[in-house]
Amino acid sequence: MFDYLIVGAGFAGSVLAERLARGAGKRVLLVDRRPHIGGNAYDRHDSAGVLIHQYGPHIFHTNSREVFEYLSQFTEWRPYEHRVRASVDGQLVPIPINLDTINQLYGLKLNSMEVEKFFESVAEPRENVRTSEDVVVSRVGRELYEKFFRGYTRKQWGLDPSQLDSMVTARVPVRTNRDDRYFSDTYQAMPLHGYTRMFENMLDHENIKILLNCDYREIVEEVDYDKLVYTGPVDEFFDFRYGPLPYRSLDFKFETVNQEWVQPVAVVNYPNEHLYTRVTEFKHLTGQEHKKSTLVYEYPMAEGDPYYPVPRPENQELYKKYQALAESTQDVHFVGRLATYKYYNMDQVVAQALSVYARIVGQKRAEASRTTLAVPTAAAVAAVTTTVTATVATAARKERRRAVGGTRKLAKGA
Ligand code: FAD
Ligand code: UDP
């Protein structure tokens, strides 16, 4: 008998599994249909031995001390400030657009005040900043919008920026100083031994059983549990009752090269050339030393694994209908980027999961994210059935075989 069946072993599911087990002594079965934990943050060594992020570059950054301290229980950190260059007009220039971007692009020697005046002279003021086009054009004008944002956004989303909520391009600031960091959050770091190791540490608890390669629908009728935490796509949970919610997908093409470094920074964006949007060289992120280097090219796709909710008003309307259904479904908590249809970063998902946990146990979030029971209850340990233990052992064996056999895919349920 489990207290909670948790669907999805990404940040949302793993934080809740950890909290419910370690904080509240609950017995948890954590299920994922992928052959690994970590969700989209999963990382692993490729066949050349380079640590890669299987689902694209994941850079940790947050302004929340609480989130940072919570995760710090499970990992040490490597200080890392993310820097990105954009390939524009035959040059690699800093993005977010800053003072150096403008000087480099136009061969100028402006200072901060002058560049602010320059932006003012080219900006097209908007009364209402509603769309992703409005955000950029009203700040830096049409020419820079077209050089940096229009093409990239059309590739990434299959939509024109004028069709997307302002929050999409508003993620990327504009600066008048020389700060070329992609993020300006207080905490910026990468898990020292990778994300997967951090997840392993989170989930290393006697009350947590993990079942991989398993869609929860295959077992939901067989398992005895009290409540459900669901972190998969919300429309899928309700069998697409109101029609599918649009998600954007990506195809990741990895390339390992026989040279130590390829790019000057971790990520190079290609707003106007190529079918891919950006190229990431992982060793910049991970700090790994290796004679070879692995890069990933991201090709946006309409079909495939759901990676990005698509922020625009009509999708929000559709989501609201699913949200109403979710709220009226008893004993099920919907958490995470897919289940709440929010373009959330990892830290926002952690914060959301900690809030859900705090509500469950009736504590304030700050308190709930810290409480740890001294030892798991004997009853909880004894209650883990032999059947599930056996299944879980099989899943663990499969995961080990998979790890040993590199990227070889296991047939579902094989
Ligand atoms: P997921 O990680 O998607 O986990 C959900 C899990 O549920 C999946 O493993 C899935 O297999 C499982 N699941 C779904 N349905 C079922 C089912 N029926 N049965 C069993 N299992 C199921 N955030 C940052 O903060 N910084 C970054 O740099 C960053 N870069 C990103 C780059 C890319 C390309 C993408 C796609 C995302 C990026 N993110 C980044 C966002 C980050 O990935 C998410 O915020 C976070 O991983 C979401 O966690 P989650 O648990 O909500 O969802
Ligand atoms: N964007 C752009 N050009 C860039 C970088 C970003 O047009 O060089 C836009 C694009 O629409 C992108 C959004 O800003 O989807 C958010 O960028 P971010 O780097 O945050 O995307 P993510 O890492 O979430 O894919």
Domain-embedded: residue 31: yes
Q: Is the Cβ atom of 160 under 6 angstroms away from ligand 2? A: no
- 95 CB less than 6 Å from ligand 2? yes
Same domain, 151 and 194: no
Residues in the chain: 414
Expressed in angstroms and rounded, the spacing between residue 307 Cα and the centre of ligand 1 is 7
- The mean pLDDT of 371-396, rounded to a whole number, is 47
pLDDT-derived band at 336 (thresholds 50, 70, 90) equals very high
How many Å apart are CA 231 and CA 334, to the nearest integer?
6
pLDDT at 201 over 80: yes
Give the mean pLDDT of 335-361.
98
Is the minimum distance from the CB of 28 to ligand 2 under 6 angstroms? no
Q: Does the beta carbon of 269 lie inside 6 Å of ligand 2?
A: yes
Looking at the structure, do residues 99 and 60 belong to the same domain, yes or no? no
pLDDT value at residue 373: 77
Count the alpha carbons within 13 Å of 322 in the hemisphere toward its beta carbon: 25
Has residue 53 got a pLDDT over 70? yes
Structure tokens at 170: 């508003």
Average pLDDT over residues 158-170: 98
Under the banding of pLDDT at 50, 70 and 90, the label for residue 383 is: very low
Ligand 1 proximity of 94 Cβ (cutoff 6 Å): no
The pLDDT, as a whole number, for residue 371 is 78
Q: Is 328 found in the same domain as 232? A: yes
Instruction: Give pTM, 2 decimals.
Output: 0.92
Same domain, 66 and 200: yes
**Same structural domain for residues 327 and 382?**
yes
Asked whether residue 362 falls in the same domain as residue 375, the answer is yes
Which residue out of 93, 105, 149 has the highest number of ligand 2 atoms within 8 Å of its CB and is therefore the one to mutate? 149
Model pLDDT for residues 17-49, shown as the tens digit of each residue: 999 999 999 999 999 999 999 999 999 999 999
Q: Look up the domain containing 126 and give its range.
A: 90-169
* Domain final residue, candidates 103, 136, 169: 169
Q: Verify whether ligand 1 is closer than 6 Å to residue 11 (CB atom).
A: yes
Is the pLDDT reported for residue 393 higher than 50? no
Tell whether 287 is covered by a domain. yes
The enclosing domain of 236 has a CATH number of: 3.40.50.720
Residue of 84, 172, 308 to mutate, ligand 2, most atoms within 8 A of C-beta: 172
Show Cβ contacts of residue 376 under 8 Å, excluding neighbours closer than 6 positions: 21, 25, 205, 206, 207
212 plus 270 within the same structural domain: no
Is the per-residue pLDDT at 63 higher than 80?
Answer: yes
Mean pLDDT for the stretch of residues 162-184: 98
Atom 11 of ligand 2 has which residue's CA nearest to it?
A: 153
- Model pLDDT, residue 372: 82
On whether both 148 and 240 belong to a single domain, the answer is no
| Mean pLDDT of the 39-64 span | 98
Question: How high is the pLDDT of residue 296?
Answer: 98
Confidence of residue 408 (pLDDT cuts 50, 70, 90): very low
176 lines ligand 2 (CB under 6 A): no
Pair 16, 129 in one domain: no
Instruction: Compute the distance between CA of residue 392 and CA of residue 96 in angstroms, rounded to an integer.
Output: 45
At residue 181 the predicted structure's pLDDT band, cuts being 50, 70 and 90, is: very high
> Is the pLDDT confidence value at 90 over 90?
yes
| Upstream peptide bond of 246 is cis (omega within 30 degrees of 0) | no
pLDDT of residue 374: 65
Domains of the chain: total: 3
252 lies in the same domain as 212: no
CA dihedral 285, 288, 293, 295 (to 10 degrees): -20
The answer to which of 192-196, 208-212, 387-391 has the lowest mean pLDDT is 387-391
Give me the chain's average pLDDT, please: 92
Whether the predicted pLDDT of 182 surpasses 90: yes
Under a CB-based contact definition with an 8 Å cutoff, are residues 113 and 171 in contact? no
The residues near 170 (Cβ < 8 Å, ≥ 6 apart) are: 132, 135
What pLDDT is stored for residue 395 in this prediction? 44
180: in domain: no
Q: What's the average model confidence in pLDDT over 80-93?
A: 98
Confidence of residue 155 (pLDDT cuts 50, 70, 90): very high
Q: How far is the CA of 210 from the centre of ligand 2 (A)?
A: 34
**Residue 174 located in a structural domain:** no
Residue 349 has pLDDT above 80, yes or no: yes
pLDDT 10s digits, 252-269 = 999 999 999 999 999 999
Q: What is the pLDDT of residue 409?
A: 28
> Phi and psi of 82, rounded to 5°?
-75, 135
DSSP character at residue 66: H
Residue 5's region, left for phi above 0, alpha for psi from -120 to 50, else beta, is beta
- Verify whether ligand 1 is closer than 6 Å to residue 334 (CB atom): no
- Is 152 close to ligand 2, i.e. is its CB under 6 Å away? yes
- Determine which of 238-242, 307-311, 395-399 has the lowest per-residue pLDDT on average: 395-399
Mean local confidence (pLDDT), 105-115: 98
